Amino acid sequence: MGGVGKTTILKHIHNDLLKQQRFERVIWVTISKEFNVMKVQDDIAGALKLKEDWPREGDKLRRAAILSEMLKNAGKHVLILDNVWDKVSLEEVGIPEPSGSNGCKMVLTTRSEHVCKYMGCKVKPLSEEEALILFLNKVGPNIVQSPTIMPTLKLVVRECAGLPLTIVVVAGTMKGEDNPHIWKNALGELKERIGKVEGVEAEVIERLKFSFDHLKDKQAKHCFLYCTVYPEDFEIEMDELIECWIEEGFIDDMGTRQEMKDKGLTILKKLEDNCLLENITNVFGQPCIKMHDAVRDMALSITSMNPRYIVQAGLQLTEGNGVQILRKYGLCITP
């Protein structure tokens, strides 16, 4: 299930492990929907910081054998695999079987029910009380103190089905709204949206679309959807993204380039406030934007109905190729 809070929990585990220093290494690898053995091997080798001994090309089996030796020599470690879409053959990748004797551990997250059963684990949605606390933390103190809004607000929270991502996105959309009639309308809208679709994933997408549809700024909508041209889990440099928005014509021509950049930053802030984009800092200390994979699924569902770009994932473009945008043909290809 998307948006239940798997990655957030894993981040807390990762940070706690780093603080406790019980393991010599804590390795984090994000697995994309289009699983690629060689990319996972490269990511683990990169995390081990042993790139000088690592063959960038070559046979997968040979690379798996080398990686297995690297991990065996890495000491006591935890390997975190985030966003696993299918069963992963540890042997094929080159990951030694974690055991009590080697003291190594492996943690993973997945949306897939059969992977959960295979691995014997599952994350449950929040309880009603936990969901309400999270919603109130995001929606603002003036709303919390309003007795005329609270009964409707609790029903809105219930429609979020205990999913942390949905809760923070809907709360971000309603933040500061003190009109009880608008809250009642939001409740009715959420119920109507969910009633039109079948399946858990489709319901998640409809809840997230609620926030997108409530963006009053058409420019902000175009800018948000543009982010789908980047690969899943991609850390988008903030300055680069705003420059792309300007070049695409999403930001109106203004007196100076700096004014246009300021407008871009204002749009970014709005999208962050609505929890549609996440503000992060990459390993180089640069401010970046990241889109949650469930939010990206929602955005792709919108662009598929009214495409401005053709987005093709899974081509495994190299880092040097980056994101290729063939503006002449309106075609975008992502790794």
Give pLDDT, residue 244: 92
Would you say residue 170 has pLDDT above 90?
Answer: yes
Residues of the chain with pLDDT > 70, as a percent, come to: 82
Confidence (pLDDT) at 111: 62
- Burial of residue 262 (number of CB atoms within 10 Å: 0-12, 13-18, 19+): middle
What's the mean pLDDT in 165-174? 91
Taking 60 as the threshold, does the pLDDT of residue 4 lie above it? no
Which neighbouring-strand residues pair with 278? 290
Among 139, 136, 86, residue whose Cα is nearest residue 111: 86
Give the pLDDT band of residue 234 (cuts 50, 70, 90).
confident
pLDDT tens sequence across 181-197 = 999 999 999 999 998 88
pLDDT at 323 over 50: no
Q: Is the pLDDT of residue 261 over 60?
A: yes
Does residue 124 or residue 126 have the better pLDDT? Answer: 126
**Average pLDDT across the chain, whole number:** 81
Mean pLDDT, rounded, for 215-229:
91
Residue 63 has pLDDT above 70, yes or no: yes
**Residue 125 pLDDT > 90:** no
H/E stretch holding 146: none
Q: Would you state the pLDDT for residue 283?
A: 75
pLDDT at 239: 93
What's the average model confidence in pLDDT over 8-19?
80
Q: Which of 2-6, 27-31, 68-72, 128-132 has the lowest mean pLDDT?
A: 2-6
Q: Which two tokens stand for residue 185?
A: 């309308």
> In Å, what is the CA distance from 38 to each residue of 41, 69, 70, 93?
5, 16, 15, 8
Q: CA angle, corner 250, sides to 244 and 254, nearest 5?
A: 95
Question: In angstroms, what is the C-alpha Rg of the chain?
Answer: 22
Q: Give pLDDT, residue 333.
A: 37
Give 157's pLDDT tier (boundaries 50, 70, 90). very high
